[in-house]
C-alpha cells in the first residue's frame, strides 16, 4: 500500500499513473478517513492488483486532522503504507498553476496563490517529515518524474522499520537540494575531473573511487565522516526522528560526491539502516 501526497501541483497525478503502470489499483482524491475502509475491501477480494495506491491532498480539507487516525486504523488492519511526498519550489509551482490555469485548493478571496502555497506547506510539514520518501520535482518533466519513481520503487519496497536515510549527490553548479537536512561540501577532495583517464567515468567506477577515497585526504575524511554519521543517526532516532536526508556535493556531482556517497551507502546498509540513494546530477556533466 502506498499513499502519494504532497504540495498541490508537484506531480501527484503523474505519480499515481506510474503506480498504475506498475500494477497498482489507484484511487485519487480519497479522504484520509476512508482509507481503512478501502483497504478492507481490497483484503476481501482475490485481487489481480499488485497493491493499492491512494492519492491524498488538500482538496480534502480534513486531510491533516484525520491523517494520524487514518494511519492507526490502517495499522489495526496490519497495513503499513509507504508514504511518498512530492514537493517543488514555490516559483515552479506558481509557473505550473499559471500554465494549467487551475486554482489552488486553498486559494480564496483573502488568500492568493503564493500565500496558499505557503500555507499548504506549513500544514503538511508534519506529514512530510514522517514520509518514507520525499521527491523534489522542480526540475523534472512529466517523463523525468515517471522515470525517477520507477527507478526508486524497488528502494521504497525494501525500506524496513526504523530510521530512513536518503542520500543525495549533487553538483553545486546545478544547485543545492532544498529537501536536505544536512549538506556536505566535498570540493576539498582530489578531483578526478582533471585526470584525463578518469574524466569520463563517474564515482560508480572503481578507479574513480580509489582515486578519491584512497588519497591521503580521502582516507582521513571518509573515516571521520562515516564515524560521524553512524554516531549521529542513533541520536536522532532516539529523539523520534523518522527520516534524514543527507546531501553530498562536489562541483559537478559526478565524481567525488558519488564516490563518498557509495561508501556511505555500503556502510549504512551493513549497519541495517533503511537507506536509499539518488545521484541527482551525475549525468549532467
**200 marked as binding residue:** no
Please compute the mean of the pLDDT values over residues 40-61 and round it to a whole number: 80
Q: Which of 129, 159, 189 is the last residue of a domain?
A: 159
Contacts of 99 (CB under 8 A, 6+ apart): none
Q: Which of 136, 159, 182 is the last residue of a domain?
A: 159
**58 marked as binding residue:** yes
Residues 190 and 121 in one domain: no
Residues 29 and 119 in one domain: yes
Whether residue 228 is predicted with pLDDT greater than 90 in this model: the reply is yes
**199 marked as binding residue:** no
**6 marked as binding residue:** yes
DSSP characters for 137-172? -TT--HHHHHHHHHHHHHHHHH--SS-EEEEEEEET
- Residue 285 domain-assigned (yes or no): no
Whether residue 174 is predicted with pLDDT greater than 80 in this model: the reply is yes
| Cβ 55 vs Cβ 16: under 8 Å | yes
**254 marked as binding residue:** no
Residue-range definition of the domain harbouring residue 192: 165-279
**209 marked as binding residue:** no
| Cβ 2 vs Cβ 53: under 8 Å | yes
Over the stretch 176-189, which tens digit does the pLDDT of each residue have?
998 899 999 999 99
| Cβ 163 vs Cβ 243: under 8 Å | yes
* φ, ψ for residue 284, nearest 5 deg: -85, -25
Could you tell me the CA-to-CA distances from 48 to 15, 51, 207, 234 in Å, in that order? 21, 9, 46, 40
Q: Over the chain, what is the mean pLDDT?
A: 87
Whether residue 151 is predicted with pLDDT greater than 80 in this model: the reply is no
Over the stretch 230-282, which tens digit does the pLDDT of each residue have?
999 988 877 767 789 999 999 999 999 999 999 999 999 988 888 889 999 99
Whether residue 208 is predicted with pLDDT greater than 90 in this model: the reply is yes
pTM, two decimals, is 0.60
Residues 19 and 122 in one domain: yes
Q: Rounded to an integer, what distance in angstroms lies between the CA atom of residue 271 and that of residue 266?
A: 9
Segment of 20-24, 135-139, 220-224 carrying the highest mean pLDDT:
220-224
**220 marked as binding residue:** no
Amino acid at each position: 500500500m502506498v499513499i502519494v501526497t504532497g504540495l498541490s501541483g508537484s506531480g501527484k497525478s503523474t505519480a499515481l499513473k506510474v503506480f498504475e503502470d506498475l500494477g497498482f489499483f489507484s484511487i485519487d482524491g480519497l479522504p484520509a478517513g476512508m482509507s481503512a475502509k478501502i483497504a478492507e475491501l481490497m483484503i476481501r477480494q482475490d485481487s489481480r492488483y499488485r497493491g493499492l495506491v491512494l492519492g491524498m491532498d488538500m482538496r480534502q480539507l480534513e486531510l491533516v486532522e484525520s491523517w494520524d487516525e487514518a494511519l492507526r486504523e490502517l495499522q489495526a488492519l496490519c497495513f503499513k503504507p509507504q508514504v511518498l511526498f512530492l514537493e517543488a519550489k514555490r516559483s515552479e509551482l506558481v509557473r505550473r498553476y499559471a500554465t494549467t490555469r487551475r486554482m489552488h485548493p486553498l486559494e480564496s478571496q483573502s488568500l492568493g496563490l503564493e500565500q496558499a502555497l505557503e500555507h499548504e506547506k506549513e500544514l503538511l510539514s508534519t506529514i512530510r517529515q514522517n514520509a518514507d520518501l520525499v521527491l523534489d520535482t522542480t526540475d523534472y518533466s512529466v517523463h523525468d518524474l515517471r522515470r525517477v519513481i520507477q527507478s526508486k520503487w524497488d528502494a521504497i519496497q525494501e525500506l524496513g522499520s526504523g530510521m530512513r536515510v536518503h542520500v543525495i549527490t549533487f553538483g553545486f553548479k546545478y544547485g543545492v537540494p532544498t529537501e536536505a537536512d544536512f549538506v556536505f561540501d566535498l570540493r576539498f577532495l582530489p578531483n578526478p575531473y582533471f585526470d584525463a583517464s578518469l574524466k569520463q567515468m563517474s564515482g560508480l567506477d572503481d578507479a574513480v573511487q580509489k582515486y578519491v577515497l584512497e588519497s591521503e585526504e580521502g582516507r582521513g575524511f571518509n573515516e571521520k565522516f562515516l564515524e560521524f554519521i553512524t554516531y549521529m543517526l542513533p541520536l536522532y532516532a532516539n529523539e523520534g526522528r523518522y527520516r534524514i536526508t543527507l546531501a553530498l556535493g562536489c562541483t559537478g556531482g559526478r565524481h567525488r560526491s558519488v564516490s563518498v556517497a557509495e561508501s556511505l551507502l555500503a556502510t549504512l546498509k551493513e549497519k541495517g539502516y533503511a537507506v536509499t540513494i539518488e545521484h541527482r546530477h551525475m549525468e549532467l556533466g
